[in-house]
A and B are shown apart, each in its own frame.
Chain A
Amino acid sequence: MVMTATDLPSTEAAAAKPRRSPVGNAYAYLQALPMALIFGVFFLIPIALVVVVSFFDYQSFDILIPDFVTFNYTDVFSSEVTYRTYLQTLTFCLIVWAITLVLGFTIAHFLAFYITSLPLQIVCFLICTIPFWTSNVIRMVSWIPFLGRNGLVNQGLMGAGITDEPIEWLLYSEFAVILGYVHLYTLFMIVPIFNSMIRIDKSLIEAAKDQGATSWQILKNVVIPLSKPGIAIGSVFVLAIVMGDFITVTVLGGGQIASVAKTIQTELSYLQFPPAAANAVVLLGVSILMIFALLRIVDIRKEL
């Protein structure tokens, strides 16, 4: 039998929300207001402005000229570079998604099922999450002594006589960018998948075992289906980050490698707001399509 997480009763969530009324009282509105204001002023209005500005005209000394022109978009879609850049970014998405999914699932599986002592589980989980709270740029830079021309990997390979001269594609390459993504963002897979896994009722697994299921069958028919919400949330995170990234491609790609967000960032450095905004709207559209496809699998609200 295949159960999905939505079939599971969520009694704790139901019990924990006391005197919830559909309209609420004045206090609730006052308490929610500050956060709503921040999101309104610094998120909703800016996103709307990006759409508006994408139809503006611009000149070198007058960076925003209110207007309704469409050439910012025709420029985006008529340029062959756009398609190549999207292809590059989507390729990164696919590769990084596959690697972080398999790696993240494996690590989460280990943390959730192989470690039975709670303190040890907390410690191992913390070990995995601590780097999340440290500087991303420094974590990227820290690959330089490994992957550089005279880095540890090349020194090791040449010392062992495997190659005669240093391998050039280790740093400032697509390889380095993918390695950076996996290094930085596997955590975004581990946490939601782990969160789904620890909610799996252990008696389901026992039951499957009693019925003679092999451990592979348990993984395939019990653990993976019940981890789906976590897998979907983790995938949304990883895809959204890689789609919008310009820092990792800049630091580890070394100027050779394009990404959609980097294109936007470059246009902004020349103060070309309207074309950057048009690019951003297209990026947003593509990201939303990807995320919607994923969210059809899961109701995020049930997961909290």
Chain B
Amino acid sequence: MAKLPYRGLMIAIFIAFVLFLYTPIFTIIILSFQGPDGGLTFPMRGVSLHWFAELFGPQSIGDVWGAFYRSLSLGGLVMVFTVVLSLMAGLAYRRGFLGSTALLYVAIASLIMPSVVVSLGIGAGFELAGVQRHWSTSGLGAHLTWTLPFGLLIIFAVFNRFDPAFEEAARDQGATGWQTIRYVVLPIIAPSLIGIALFGFTLSYDELARSSQAIGAVNTLPIELQAMQTNATTPIIYALGTLTTGLSFLVIGITVGAAMLIRRQQQRQGSDAGKGV
């Protein structure tokens, strides 16, 4: 293809956009290492771990560690539910079933529904039923309305590119339906399932809008963070932001790494589908 016009300008725009995306977050990472007398903005008054220590010390900033624990647990739960239910639904769509189009439209509606409406509905439902709202019940459900549509759309894309010849070959060799899924389909789509897990965990871990009315009496970390930032006067909120962003980066790194490793292994060995039998 011939050279495209304004190449330099386009590269400059892209770099500017990446800087726009990342500079703020790296700024608060730097500022979280403020000295004990430092404030919310530059200049740095010394470099220290003071504000991280403050996070671990006896604090006056609410139940950060409880919230952190709840967010991790909920993220894990949401991740498992999202991967398993999306995979099952993906398999169902390959067979075809009555109402498949309706389910897809419900999923898309759930994705673009204003979160505050979903949250309000779940809150009202539990209130009317006289059931206590809790992060592991109403909270879990609220998060799934947000993560499952992503899971379903990804699994659609995965199976659209899936060559049915692999399964036919397995069946020809006498594999049962379950064996075909376990030893042929799952190994092939494993990197994509890891991708769905990433969506499930991180979207839940950072979810705020749908949680607001559904989470119950105790907060998850994003809610705690939002409450903190309204009266934050010290860099302690940056320290917490640095930690939680670090965790997100770690999860993304592990996921992308794992997916690439599996893919590379598959390329080296051909597909390892069938090896486990």
Contact = CB atoms under 8 A, between A and B. Distances in A.
Given A16-B162, A18-B167, A32 B117 contact: no
Nearest to A215: B5
Interface residues of B, number: 106
Interface string B110-144: 10111111101111110110000000001001101
Given A114-B4, A138-B244, A243 B114 contact: yes
B141 A42 contact: yes
Given A35-B148, A35-B152, A137 B226 contact: yes
B206 A136 contact: yes
Contacts of A289: none
Q: Which secondary structure dominates where chain B touches chain A?
A: helix
A144 interface: yes
Contact of A43 (B39, B92, B110, B244): B110
Nearest to A184: B21
Contacts of B125: 45-46, 49
A50 B25 contact: no
A55 B186 CA distance: 49
Interface residues of A, number: 103
A39 B97 contact: no
Interface string A14-29: 0111111111110111
Contacts of B244: 134-135, 138
A32 B97 contact: yes
Nearest to B90: A31
Given A48-B121, A237-B112, 10 more contacts: A42-B138, A53-B124, A63-B127, A106-B10, A113-B4, A133-B252, A138-B28, A141-B237, A152-B42, A215-B4
Interface of A: 12-13, 15-25, 27-32, 34-36, 38-39, 41-50, 53, 63-64, 103, 106-107, 109-111, 113-114, 116, 124, 126-128, 130-131, 133-146, 148, 150-152, 155, 183, 186, 202, 205-206, 209, 215, 236-237, 240, 243-247, 250-251, 261, 264-265, 268, 273, 276-277, 280, 283-284, 287, 291, 300-301, 304
Interface of B: 1-2, 4-5, 7, 10-11, 13-14, 17-18, 20-22, 24-25, 27-28, 31, 39-42, 81, 84-86, 88-89, 91-101, 103-104, 106-110, 112-118, 120-125, 127-128, 138, 141-142, 144-145, 148, 152-153, 156-157, 159-164, 167-168, 177, 198-199, 202-203, 205-206, 208-209, 212-213, 222, 225-226, 229, 232, 237-238, 241, 244-245, 248-249, 251-252, 256
